Amino acid sequence: MKKIRIGIVGAGRGMDLATNFIMLNCDIVALCEFDPKRLQRLSERNRLDPSIKVYSDFDEFLNHGMDAVVLANYFHEHAPLAIKCFERGLHVFSECISNGTMAEGVELIRAFEKRNSVYMLAENYPQMKFNREIKRICDSGKLGQLLYAEGEYNHPIDSKDTSFFKDCIYRADHWRNYLPRTYYVTHSLGPIMWATGATPKKVTAFSVFSPMDGEDPSARRVGDRVSLMMTQNDDGSVFRFTGCAAFGAHHNAYRVCGVNGSVENLRGMNGKIMLRYNSWSTPDGEENRQFYEPAWNDKDEELIQRSGHGGGDYLTARMFVECIRERRQPEHPFDIYSAVNMSSVAILAHRSALEGGKPYDIPDFHHEEWRRTYENDRLSPFYGTDGSEPTLPCCTRTDYSPTEKQLELYEELLK
């Protein structure tokens, strides 16, 4: 069987993903990285295969000859690159949100529909072992009609963690310093969309303002600690979820509730599942309260356990390779329409939070009337690749900024 040739965009996260495609017997043929300092750090850590051709120009990179491209560049800058891939008939594996603005979502789908490329959102948290088990329980039908689900991605950062700042927030205008709390949404929303099959149709959001201490190094322009979002979905159910939150202790937590019972992974319990039924709705032969650690039940368990993000990196990459070989698009919520739906939730939820929880309808970009509504909407909280300034506040306290002392400490830390 002919090997799939893959090009990687982004020397940091991209090289993590490359190891999984190598395990899947793909060839990594080229790397594109726009920041020479990141390339230097990669080389210093002996993570750069000298046989791989390295490019700093994306168009030249695409000329190298490949079948698929992994987009692991800046969080919000994937759509323009994905469109160029579509124009060349290349398949796309895109990390995090698919589009940084609503207009990019329109452009991305219009370009996709003109070609035959496979597009997959590289959202790996649904493939963690406990989330696979939650989906298995939901698919069994034992919970009855699914009414409600929760997703929390809670990732507080130690302000003294100098390595994280140097590796991940290495410029004052870096996207992480301008990231609204709703935007990094796929790790919380993706797993509950996958488990339930539901798609958000309306969103509202509220944020909690609690900036970092004045003695901590920071160039972060977002003083919000968490944004809580709620959606009404196409099946009538309701979701409650975070973006990337920073409250309490670190955890990833998910729960789905049906008419008959509920299933969730237990916070701080290393992936253990709690499955509960009402006494009058417990399935025959089962206990109405169960606590257990699920099994992988997968032929590639050894490779999965060698992978990052709880095995999710390998399993997501495997799904992409299978889609290419079988010439089909991935299932909900990894397909392009689901990806743009999640990005729309992220973008419009932030606007809701800025406006005191105003509800926003989530557009369905299958339909041209929705596309026309948003085709010129380029509001963004981030700096542009051309250096253009943000056009939307990134914090619900729109006058918030780090102190001079925090900025001074931040610059010292980076040195």
Q: Could you report the per-residue pLDDT of 179-238, keeping only the tens digit for each?
A: 999 999 999 999 999 999 999 999 999 999 999 877 888 999 999 999 999 999 999 999
Mean pLDDT of the chain: 94
Alpha-carbon distance 303 to 314, whole Å?
7
Specify burial of residue 128 (Cβ count, 10 A radius: 0-12, 13-18, 19+).
buried
37-52 core/surface letters (b: 16 or more CB in 10 A; e: else): ebbebbeeeeebeeee
Peptide bond into 333 cis (omega under 30): yes
**Closest of 405, 408, 397 to residue 213, by C-alpha:** 405
343 within 8 A of 354, measured Cβ to Cβ: no
Tokens 């700042």 map to which residue? 165
Structure confidence at residue 45 (pLDDT): 60
Using DSSP bridges, classify how beta strands 91-94 and 68-71 pair: parallel, antiparallel or unpaired.
parallel
Band (40; pLDDT cuts 50, 70, 90):
confident
Structure confidence at residue 35 (pLDDT): 82
pLDDT for residue 376 is more than 90: yes
| Residues 6+ positions from 307 with CB-CB distance below 8 Å | 19, 20, 23, 313, 314, 315
Band (166; pLDDT cuts 50, 70, 90):
confident
Q: Could you report the per-residue pLDDT of 90-147, keeping only the tens digit for each?
A: 999 999 899 999 999 999 999 999 999 999 999 999 999 999 999 999 999 999 999 9
243 within 8 A of 180, measured Cβ to Cβ: yes
Domain residue extents for the chain: 5-124+310-334, 125-300+338-374
Alpha-carbon distance 384 to 113, whole Å?
26
Q: What are phi and psi of 167, to 5 degrees?
A: -85, -35
CATH top-level class of 125-300+338-374? alpha beta
153 within 8 A of 229, measured Cβ to Cβ: no
Interior angle at CA 68, CA 64 and CA 73, nearest 5: 85
Rounded to two decimals, the pTM is 0.96
Structure confidence at residue 107 (pLDDT): 98
**Identity at 308, one-letter amino acid code:** G
Alpha-carbon distance 352 to 358, whole Å?
5
150 SS3 class: strand
Determine the length of the chain.
415
Alpha-carbon distance 384 to 228, whole Å?
27
Q: What are phi and psi of 283, to 5 degrees?
A: -60, 150
CATH top-level class of 5-124+310-334? alpha beta
Tokens 């490019």 map to which residue? 55
324 SS3 class: helix
What is the percentage of the chain residues whose pLDDT exceeds 70? 98
